[in-house]
Amino acid sequence: MSTITQSMDFVEITLDGRAIRVPEGTSVFDAARMNGTPIPTLCHLQNETPVGVCRLCVVDTGGRVLTASCVRPVEAGMKVVTNSDKVLNARKTVLELLMADHPSPCARQEKSGDCELETLAKAAGVAQPRFAKRTLSRGKDDSSLAIAVDHDACILCDRCIRGCDEIKNNFVLGRMGKGYSAGIAFDLNAPMGDSTCISCGECMVSCPTGALTNKTVLGTSIAAGKDTQGFEAEELLQLPVFKGVSGTFLELNRGAIVKRRFRAGEIICREGEFGSTAFYVLEGKARVSLSAPIAHVKTEGGGKGLFKKLTSSLAARDTDVRDGEARDKTIPIDASVDLAYGNPVAELGPGDLFGEMTCMNFYPRSATVIAETDVVAFEMLRNVLDIMMKNKSFRAQIDQNYRRRALENHLRGVPMFADLSPDFIEHLKGSVELRRYAPGQVIAQQGDTARSFYLVRIGFVKVSETYPGGELVLAYLSRGDYFGEIGLLGGGVRTASCTALDHVEVVRIPGDDFREMVERFPSVRQGLEAVAAERQAANQQRMQTVQSVPIDQFLSQGLMEAQSLLILDLQNCTRCDACVNACADAHDGITRLVREGLRFDQFLVATSCRQCRDPLCMVGCPVGSIRRRNSLEVIIEDWCIGCGLCARNCPYGNINLHPFEVMVEDLERPGRKKAVVKQKATSCDLCTHLKEPSCVYACPHDAAHRVDPRTFFSEMLGGGTK
């Protein structure tokens, strides 16, 4: 049966006398919460796998003893009681035991009044515990510059351990000791300040009590303005989008989130500008668009002979078609919507988040956003956005907006997915999973079983293979790219590792849905198989290179990634600069060649685009406009916004910004246009408009050559080619 028509299995249970239906496998805890019956808990965060440590969520399921609801799955016909005297007395006893050793009020309760243990104890009527306090104090740890540790306030819920291990993958925290002497330790029981802790704050945010609290927070304030409103933690906690967020965290970072009011016509942010904040729209509508002209740099001119005085100008795609240029239907931007190529304008409204990539990774703004009506929005720094995105309620709203507004465009923006039927896309909207990864976190490991297919939604993913000589980078993937198809189409094993280069969000399509997709839509299978074959062939070619030359020398010189190098034979070169001048003459007076660079034997690898196989210049482009086509040329698409990040990222200094005067809409005077200077990124184009590269042709001493480094240097090193 098709997975589209296959129905989910439900079971019927009785909850406090009410008959309800919930999906099979649901925990009693989630079943109660889904039906408006809250159950208290201290060890179970909204976005974590339950572990049943605190036992505060006990309920009566008709058995001999009470059971922890967070780890007990529902069963057909089960009768659950959450509020009987027996259950309430058991919870009260647990709270009394915990409060007996708890320093009340703890640091969290003093600072923001939201210690979860003390709040629950007060609600249960626990004033003075009947049990004596322990005589041995575990004490405080003041060694960290950022986080204060009070072991006496720790209730061993393990939330800090799971935050450190499962969310951040730092593996610093763990339990030590047994029974009465059990406690939380850093590394091998080192002081926090002397441990491998990186002060990310995840443990502090996860902690339900005052065991882990911020000591100081520096540089976390947004500049105030006349239309800016700050908040106290208590005010924020009253708003639905902040439900479940740590009040301590908000109180200690209250300057990191403000409410801004923008009048109709006011600019919220401009494309190309660097920023550090994200915006969440509360009221009103905003218009998001690109003001940069949709055109690429074209070099042309008149005259005779190889050396013509050429001029660079902006050319639209319909007047100057380039081989291998992508015919994208959408332009990816840092928002819940993408922009149509033919009309790069969209609308944002209440519940939309934009600027996430800018905020988390400090990339340039990808588009210009203007208030269409009066707009009210939260502006927040990365520390607040990061914790907000971990909150189940806020996250669910953002995910729902993406599924509803952007997933279909995201899928159809990949040409081979254009034939997916509407019913299948609707199915995917309900079955895909959005996953977030921190910088350096492994998404898929080489050698592991392939179970999923991934689309990149936010950030950049590094694809690499491990060899005896070290790691070899295969590609950098950004929004709209995908990975995982080789393992699913082939032997079922990951052939490479995929790692988050920065803060990354991917759309995970389960393996069953992927297999159904390629079975139902032959064109999708053909397209994926063609790309997989191309990638595997390229990988095999790299492997041959690795085997034919000393890899340490090749990698250390940065030559592995190059496809075309301009080299100067220093035994012939007279430093006449004829190559540099020829490049400038061929490109409107702006040279794309600098006669300096790394040395390899008697050759100088000049500063000119190497046409890298996996260009670092692609990493961070806010609109995904730079890519490598099937030929040697690294191509910059015509929707480049001229932010200059690619030029800064290029490790060899081979990308320049070319200024052009263009007419654009005057945002301050709607309906009028004005002349402004806009920049477009340019790099060496191998003088494709001429017979051969100008720099090579102009050299009077046969010193300049364009070479394939794999062939040239492997022969130099005596490895030969295979």
User: 145 with 199: CB under 8 angstroms?
Assistant: yes
Q: Does residue 348 sit in helix, strand or coil?
A: strand
Pair of tokens at residue 406: 């952007």
pLDDT of 389 > 80? The answer is no
Find tokens 């304008």 and name the residue: 345
On whether the CB atoms of residues 141 and 183 are closer than 8 A, the answer is no
- Residue 117 parent element (H or E): helix 116-123
Cα 220–223–226 angle (5° rounding)?
145
Q: Which helix (H) or strand (E) holds 376?
A: strand 375-381
Alpha helices in 268-329 (DSSP H): none
Q: Where are the alpha helices (DSSP H) in 310-368?
A: 356-361
The residue-averaged pLDDT of 101-128 equals: 88
Question: Do 107-114+131-214 and 222-291+333-391 show the same overall fold?
Answer: no
Q: Which residue has the higher pLDDT, 462 or 296?
A: 462
Q: What mean pLDDT comes out for the span 241-249? A: 68
User: Do β-strands 79-80 and 10-15 pair in parallel, antiparallel, or remain unpaired?
Assistant: parallel
| Domain residue limits, the chain | 10-83, 107-114+131-214, 222-291+333-391, 415-546, 554-716
SS3 274: strand
**CA atoms within 13 A of residue 467's CA, in its CB half-sphere:** 20
Q: What is the pLDDT of residue 223?
A: 66
Taking residues 113-131, what's their average pLDDT? 88
Calculate the alpha carbon distances from 283 to 154, 396, 510, 582, 643 in Å. Answer: 41, 19, 36, 56, 30
The β-bridge relationship of strands 626-628 and 634-636 is: antiparallel
Kindly list the strands in the beta sheet with 368-371, ordered across the sheet, starting from the edge strand earlier in the chain.
267-269, 368-371, 286-289, 345-348
Among 87-96, 246-255, 353-362, the minimum mean pLDDT is found in: 246-255
d(CA 313, CA 304): 20
Which one-letter amino acid corresponds to residue 548?
S
User: Quick one: pLDDT at residue 339?
Assistant: 84
CB atoms closer than 10 angstroms to residue 160: 24
Structure tokens at 230: 């700050």
Phi-psi domain of 57 (left: phi exceeds 0; alpha: psi -120 through 50; beta: other): alpha
Cβ partners under 8 Å of residue 305, min gap 6: none
User: Which architecture characterizes domain 107-114+131-214 according to CATH?
Assistant: 2-Layer Sandwich (3.30)
- Scanning 276-406, the segments in alpha helix (DSSP H) are 356-361, 382-388, 392-405
SS3 string, 19-84, reads EEEEECCCEHHHHHHHCCCCCCCCCCCCCCCCCCCCCCCEEECCCCCCEECCCCECCCCCEEECCC
Q: How far apart are CA 248 and CA 110, in angstroms?
A: 10
What average pLDDT score do residues 87-105 get? 92
| CA–CA separation, 515 and 487 (whole Å) | 12
User: Going by C-beta distance under 8 Å and a sequence separation of 6 or more, which residues neighbour residue 523?
Assistant: 416, 419
**pTM as predicted:** 0.64
What's the pLDDT score for residue 716?
60
- Give the pLDDT of residue 559: 55
Residue 94 has pLDDT above 90, yes or no: yes
Residue pair 655/682 in contact (Cβ under 8 Å)? The answer is: yes
Residue 200, pLDDT above cutoff 80: no
Query: Sign (positive/negative) of CA torsion 172, 173, 174, 175?
Result: positive
Fold of the CATH domain 222-291+333-391: Jelly Rolls (2.60.120)
Whether domain 10-83 has CATH 1.10.10.10: the reply is no
3-class secondary-structure state, position 219: coil
What's the CA gap between 210 and 397, in Å, rounded? 30
Query: Is residue 37 classed exposed, middle or buried when 0-12, 13-18 and 19+ CB atoms within 10 A define those classes?
Result: middle
Q: Rounded CA gap, 616 and 605, in Å?
A: 18
Q: Compute the average pLDDT of residues 306-315.
A: 61
pLDDT at 29: 92
Task: Name residue, tokens 């409410």.
Answer: 259
For residue 237, the 8-state DSSP code is H
User: pLDDT band at 676, cuts 50/70/90?
Assistant: confident
pLDDT over 90 percentage in the chain: 19
Q: Calculate the alpha carbon distances from 582 to 310, 329, 346 in Å.
A: 11, 38, 44
User: In sequence order, which ranges of 436-550 are alpha helices (DSSP H)?
Assistant: 485-489, 511-520, 522-548
Query: How many other C-beta atoms can be found within 10 angstroms of the C-beta atom of residue 149?
Result: 27
**What's residue 90's pLDDT?**
94
Amino acid 152 reads D
DSSP E strands in 240-372: the ranges are: 257-262, 267-269, 277-283, 286-289, 296-301, 310-315, 330-331, 339-340, 345-348, 353-354, 368-371
Look at 181 and 667; give whichever has higher pLDDT.
181
Q: pLDDT over 70 for what percent of the chain?
A: 77
Higher-confidence residue of 134 and 312: namely: 134
CB-CB neighbours of 539 under 10 Å = 18
Closest CA to 517 of 432, 421, 403, 412: 421
Can you tell me the mean pLDDT for 306-319? 64
Find tokens 């291998």 and name the residue: 324
Instruction: Measure the CA–CA gap between 372 and 377, rounded to whole angstroms.
Output: 13
Measured in degrees and rounded to the nearest 5, phi and psi for residue 414 equal -90, 115
> Which pLDDT band holds residue 108 (cuts at 50, 70, 90)?
confident
DSSP string, 128-194: S-SSPPPSS---EE---SSEEEEGGG-----HHHHIIIIIT----EEEES-GGG-EEEETTTB-GGG
Over residues 575-597, the mean pLDDT reads 71
The C-alpha atoms of residue 548 and residue 714 are separated, in whole angstroms, by: 6
Residue 59: the pLDDT is 95
Q: Is the peptide bond before 105 cis (omega within 30 degrees of 0)?
A: yes
Q: Which residues contact 205 (CB under 8 A, 6 or more apart)?
A: 163, 246, 249, 387, 390
Per-residue model confidence (pLDDT) at position 597: 61
d(CA 597, CA 606): 5
Higher pLDDT, 31 or 220: 31
Whole-number average pLDDT of the chain: 79
CATH 2.60.40.1180 fits 415-546, yes or no: no
- H/E stretch holding 409: helix 407-412
